[in-house]
Each structure stands twice: as structure tokens, then as C-alpha cells.
Structure 1
Amino acid sequence: MDTRRHTPAALVAAALLLLSGCGGGEDPARSETPIDVVALSTYGTGTATFADVAAVADAVTAAEGTRFRIITSGTAIGRMLPLKDGQTQFARVGDEYIFGFRAEHEFADEDWGPQRTRVVWAPTAPHSWMARDGSGIEEAADLEGKRVPRVTANPSVNQKTKAMLASAGLTWDDVRPVDIGYGEQPDALKAGKLDVLFQQVYGSSLAELESTTPVHWLEFDENDPRTQRAIEENVPSVELRSFTGAPGQEEGGSNTGFWYAVPVITYADTSDVVASQLARSIVDSYDKYRDATSTTDLWSTDDAMIAPVEVPFHPGLVEVLEQEGVWTAEAQQRQDELLAQEKQLRRGWQQVKESENLRRDWAAWKKQHLEEAGDE
């Protein structure tokens, strides 16, 4: 069932700005005055994540006149690289903000290393695994021997799948991995090339899939000890919670999915003015976009992640949260711990970055030093 709300104006405006190039000159991320054009990278146009960004951008433009340029990519590196290279000031990303911070997966590379990523706003959203009706796949345990997506250049998704499989005592060795792009999954499931897909549950591509192919969501037991352990060990930022009103659900139906932040991020050297400008605009424009999509209501301070978990918050965001009265002493303590961890990571990288087997030696360094510090 498709109960999504639509924002044609936002999507049209965002699509037009997708065609716009970013100009040269002084880096706007370092501006000490508010900027007129915000450049941001995110997921592709068929995703719910893009729809949210477009809706929020449209509302902020209508309220304040700030324009947005959006660059899209289906890969973690593709979303992070424009931010790193200064093409954008912000990015809305998956767990690559965590992987970049800790130099994991593709970021354990001489061209990357620990990134000084910072959260600017962290809305949460439900994600889960969808299968075709009649497939016999109702829960994770049913995936043994089945075709499971191993999403190209997307360690965030693949780590979630690792956790999902572990909830049933399975690993990648127990399934048939299919290397595929994130946005290619719905068509592949429809064509019988995949037995299951993983996406944000309100994506327009899933509504299109449901219109031609009967589908349903896998079931998860949030009280199951093995499932809880699998999440804690693999994706500690994930919460198991119910979602409703998504494609593949009956009227009034509910399923349990993986909820986690898909944050807007920047780098530490983005000025407080620019970072707080966007965070403040998101807060102040909330009533204008809250009903735009099925998940924009989750951008409020009541539902967004308002305390750091694995990556520090930008001081510009902290300033806004303090103004809103929701920044706590516990949040500040975790912020300080993460900033100290960042220094430790950057020092450690200097010790191993010339290694001939960089990924192996970096993983060994982190295992020793971060575990000793109690951070893993």
C-alpha cells in the first residue's frame, strides 16, 4: 500500500538544481556570514532519502530564500567525495560518516584515513528487507542459500545485512551474495535476480515495485537475544522499532525494521556560521515540510538523534540544540569522548599510514588501542 505524501514542487526544484554546477572562488563552507547557496550530496533521485532532502530544501528556500544544489550518488565514496573535495558543504549519508571518521572499509586507504566528519542534523528513518510474496522468505533464517544483495561500494548497507544475517545465526557464506547497485535492487527483485532487497521503507521505487509485484517485509523480533546481540556487535547505532504505511503493508499493518540516523554531515573546519545556519533552518522550517513525505516528520528535535553516538556533532549544531534546550550534560560528555577518540585515531594513522598492508595494520592498531581505551 502506498500512503506516501508527495512534494512535486520540491522534486522539480531539486531536479533542476541537480543540473547546476558549483562555482569557483572562496570555499563557502568557511564563510563567516550565512551563504546563499547550499550544496549537498546524497542518495539518488528514486530514494526516500533524496525525497526528504528535496522537501526540506524546498521549505527552506520558500522560507528564507536559500537555494540548494544537490549532487546524487549510489555509493558511499560518491556521496563523501564531493564533500571532501569542496564541491559541497554538506552531505546526507549512510554509515559512511562513521566509517570515514574511523577510517574503515573504503576509507582505510591512503587517500582517506580518519576523516574529521561532523553531524549537522540527524533524522532517523526505518529500513528493512523486502521479499516477494510466495518466496517462502518470511524471516532472516529463511535466507540460507538465497540471493542476497551485496551492494556495490556501500559498506553501510552491507554491514546492516551482516547484522541481519547474524540475527539468524547466518553469515555471508551461508547465502548467495549478488553484487548490485543500491538503486538497482527493486528491478532485480522483480526480475527474480534477487530474493530479497534492503532499502529505506518509503522509497518511491518500492511503491512502483509493489504496483506490479506482491511483496512483503521480513519479520524481526526485537526481544530476541540473538537479534539484539547481532545489532550490538555489528550496528550499534541501529534500533529495532515498528513502521507503518509503507509499500508492501496492508492497511493498518506494522512491521519491525532497522531504524537509524541518515544524517546531514559536514567537516570540522566548516564554519560555525554555515553549520548552524543549516541546522537552524531545518528547525525553523519544520512546520513547512513535516508532512511533505512519510519521513520528514522525523526531522524534528523530538525524533532526530540529538546526542552524538559514534561521530561528534558540529559546534554549530550544538549551538542550535542548546538554544532549543535539548543539549544535555550526557551529550556533552559523549561529545568530548569522541573528540578525544578522533585525536587518538589521527595519531594512530600517522604511525601506520606507510604500511605495505595498510588495512591489516590499521585494523590491528585500532583493535589494540581503541579497546584499551574502552571505545570498542
Structure 2
Amino acid sequence: MKKIAKALASILAGALLLSGCAKLDLGEEVNAFPDFTAWTTYGTGTATYADLAAAANTISNDTGAQIRILTSDTAVGRLSPLRNKQAVMSRTGDEYMYSFNGDEDFSHPDWGPQDVRVAWTPTAPHALMTRANTEITTPMDLKGKRVPRITANPSVNNKISAYLAYAGLTWDDVRPVNVAYSEQPAALQNGKIDVLYQQVYGSSLFELESAVQVQWLELDPDATDRVEALQRVSPAVEVGPFEGAPGQADGESDNGFVYPLPIVTYAETSDSIAYYTAKAFQDEYPQFADATATTKNWDLEHIVTMPVQVPFHPGTVKFLEENGKWSQEAQERNEALIAYGERMRAAWPEFLEQADTDGDLKEQWREWKKDHVQPLP
């Protein structure tokens, strides 16, 4: 925890300065990690932020580079600085997929499908937490309970929907409570919600544990039908174990959702910036691998190296190729995803011309793509 605190303190000052910085040159060609860069991610109390801050702190100390981190609880808030060239990289939730496809919050005239690329792909465990000594021990116990609906965060809401699907429930079976992502621990402590959903090692959850007894909802990875139901809602999710989190005794483990929380950028970012960013994560990994409970998942042996729903950046592909981590299958999938993104972005203006902009653009775009955009092979 001391290492985490050191990283947070070092990076936070840069986060506070970001709002006034000039636009960055995403196309800059570099021959080493950039002297100055800016990244975005979730709020400072989250494990997602702690991971990124630990990596940034190590890279900064070793290279002398300035890395500024801007935080936001919302999907659009994390990607807007990239689109506005105030930041280069973002560690995201599922908004990297939603933005690429123009779905959810990005089904909006100001957004639409975005030309984003994956730069690095560490994974992390997430789960539903509740207060101890309640009647809520499994997702099946959520019926009629107060469940958070996270403001402007379709990624987290999708994962909660997947938990409900595991239990054979929907949002109609629970009492949704609108709350910001970072407000969940206080809301659980104060009794406004009955469960919360976060990456399991967030510092705010350890603080919550010091105030109230907490526990994790049980998931059974061998409950095949239930796991298949949740993966129909959130295909990228695997059910897997975690330990050392708040509410767990030494050696105790629970099962949660494990999936990538990637570092993403726009396609216009130069190949050299993406390459040296990937290289820095790998080169500096031994120095920050033990900084948090999940930074051990940040090296070439643990990251995801197969494109699934968003293509990898050419700079990252070059680095993976040099290290024997890029296959012909990955290349073919990447090319198919790039072509699919081009088709969606070309179709978006035509869609807007005929769309009812006062109606539900998310559903209209989803249906329109079925008939007008050639799907992925």
C-alpha cells in the first residue's frame, strides 16, 4: 500500500495541471518515450487509477518524462481529452468498444464510431460487494434490492447487467439507484445501495472496509448455464478467482469478473508514440509489477495479445511482433476490425441524415447497422 500511495501522490499533481495544457501532437515522431504525455482513466480512489499511476510513476522516474493523468467517472469524460488532443492514452472500461462501434453513450451526433486503437491490454478482476451479515450472498439474492446504475458509464452498467443475467434477473427485478462510479463506496456505507461494482483492489474499498464489514457476492465458475447467460450480455468477461481484496481473510479467495482494461489511443497517434509506450510498460514492468495487486498482469506474459472487438495500434503490433507475441491469426483479425471500423465511420453520416435525432439513437443505430454495414466475418 505504501508503493500505491507514493505513486498516487507523485502523479496527482500532474492531473490537477492538465486542464490548462495545450493540445498535444499525437502525430509526433519520437525515438524514445515522449518527454511529455497525458493519460486519462477512472477516479483516484479506484484500483484502475492506482495501476496506471504506478506505471506512470515508474516510467517518469526512470526516463524523466512528464506524465499527467486526468480522471473521470464517465466514459465520455475519459475519451473526450483524447479526441480533443489534451491526452494521448486512456485506460478505459468498455467504452473503448462502445466508442469504436458508436454504441451506448457514443450513439450521439457529436460522436458516432471513433477510430480508436488498443495500445496495451492488462486485465483486472471486478466484482459485486455488499455489506457483511446481510441476506445478499449470491447474485440470485439481488431481486428487489437497491442496485447502482452508474451515471454515464455503460461499461459498468453492462457488467452489472451480466451479474443479473447470471442470476436470471433483469433491471426490472431490482431497484436501480443512479450514482456516480466513485460515489459507490459512500453510498454502500450510508445504506443508499445494497451492492457496489468496482475493481476489487481500489483504495476506496479498503477505506470502506475499515468502516464497515464487507463481503463479495459468490459466483460459481462451474455453473455453466449461468456463466453462459452472463457472457451473452458481456462476451469479454471470464469468471475467475481473486484474493487479497477488502473483506477477505488471508488466503481466502472469491470469484469475480476478469477482463481487459486496456490502454487505448486514436489511430492518428504516431506509430512511434504507441511503440515506445508499449515498450515502456514492458521495460519498466519489473519496477512496478508489485506496486498493486494487479500490476503483475501488465507484462507480455499476461496481457491479451489477440484483438477481439477493437484493433491494435500499428505501433503496438510492431512491438508485439518483435517479441514473438503476434500471430497470423491476430493480424487477420486486426485487419478485419480495421475494415469494419472504416465501414461504420463511412456509414455514420448517412445514418444521421435519416435518423430521428429526438428518438433513441442507440437502438436506431444498432438496427441500421444490421442492414447497412457489412458485419465482421
10 and 194 in structure 1: CA distance in 2 versus 1, 3 angstrom threshold:
same
Residues of 1 paired with 2:2 and 2:120: CA distance? 22
Counterpart of 1:203 in structure 2 is 202
Counterpart of 1:10 in structure 2 is 7
Residues of 1 paired with 2:306 and 2:2: CA distance? 29
Counterpart of 1:268 in structure 2 is 267
Residues of 2 paired with 1:368 and 1:72: CA distance? 38
1:265-295 Cα distance to aligned partner (Å, 9 max, x none): 1000100011111111001000010011111
Counterpart of 1:356 in structure 2 is 356
359-368 or 286-295, which deviates more:
359-368
Shift of 1:43: 0.8
1:188 equivalent in alignment to 2:179: no
Shift of 1:5: 6.0
Residues of 1 paired with 2:220 and 2:101: CA distance? 30
Residues of 2 paired with 1:69 and 1:28: CA distance? 15
Shift of 1:8: 3.2
Counterpart of 1:333 in structure 2 is 332
282-291 or 32-41, which deviates more:
32-41
Residues of 2 paired with 1:32 and 1:286: CA distance? 24
Shift of 1:374: 5.3
1:367 equivalent in alignment to 2:362: no
Q: Which runs of 5 or more structure 1 residues have no equivalent in the other structure?
A: none
Aligned residue runs from structure 1 range 125-164, under 5 A: 125-164=124-163
1:309 equivalent in alignment to 2:285: no
Residues of 1 paired with 2:242 and 2:2: CA distance? 16
Aligned residue runs from structure 1 range 275-314, under 5 A: 275-314=274-313
Contact 1:147-1:193 at 8 Å conserved across structures:
yes
SS at structure 2 position matched to 1:109 = coil
Shift of 1:250: 1.3
Contact 1:32-1:273 at 8 Å conserved across structures:
yes
1:30 equivalent in alignment to 2:32: no
Aligned residue runs from structure 1 range 340-351, under 5 A: 340-351=339-350
Shift of 1:368: 3.6
1:37-71 Cα distance to aligned partner (Å, 9 max, x none): 11011111111111111110111112211110111
SS at structure 2 position matched to 1:353 = helix
Contact 2:96-2:310 at 8 Å conserved across structures:
yes
CA-atom RMSD in angstroms? 1.5
TM-score by length of 2: 0.95
Contact 1:44-1:74 at 8 Å conserved across structures:
yes
TM-score by length of 1: 0.95
Contact 1:164-1:230 at 8 Å conserved across structures:
no
1:177 equivalent in alignment to 2:176: yes
Shift of 1:231: 2.9
Contact 1:306-1:326 at 8 Å conserved across structures:
yes
SS at structure 2 position matched to 1:240 = strand
SS at structure 1 position matched to 2:40 = strand
Residues of 1 paired with 2:218 and 2:347: CA distance? 41
Contact 1:241-1:257 at 8 Å conserved across structures:
yes
1:145-168 Cα distance to aligned partner (Å, 9 max, x none): 000000000000000011110111
Contact 1:186-1:205 at 8 Å conserved across structures:
yes
Runs of 4+ in 1 over 4 A off after TM superposition: none
Contact 2:72-2:78 at 8 Å conserved across structures:
yes
Q: Which amino acid aligns with 1:16?
A: A
Residues of 1 paired with 2:240 and 2:186: CA distance? 27
Residues of 2 paired with 1:143 and 1:6: CA distance? 36
Shift of 1:119: 0.6
367 and 248 in structure 1: CA distance in 2 versus 1, 3 angstrom threshold:
farther
Q: Which amino acid aligns with 1:87?
A: Q
Counterpart of 2:76 in structure 1 is 77
Counterpart of 1:322 in structure 2 is 321
SS at structure 1 position matched to 2:211 = coil
Residues of 1 paired with 2:177 and 2:328: CA distance? 45
SS at structure 2 position matched to 1:256 = strand
Shift of 1:369: 5.1
1:19 equivalent in alignment to 2:16: yes
SS at structure 2 position matched to 1:141 = helix
Contact 1:5-1:293 at 8 Å conserved across structures:
no
Q: Which amino acid aligns with 1:346?
A: R
SS at structure 1 position matched to 2:167 = coil
Residues of 1 paired with 2:54 and 2:247: CA distance? 24
Counterpart of 1:91 in structure 2 is 90
SS at structure 2 position matched to 1:19 = helix
Q: Which amino acid aligns with 2:227?
A: Q
Residues of 2 paired with 1:5 and 1:297: CA distance? 17
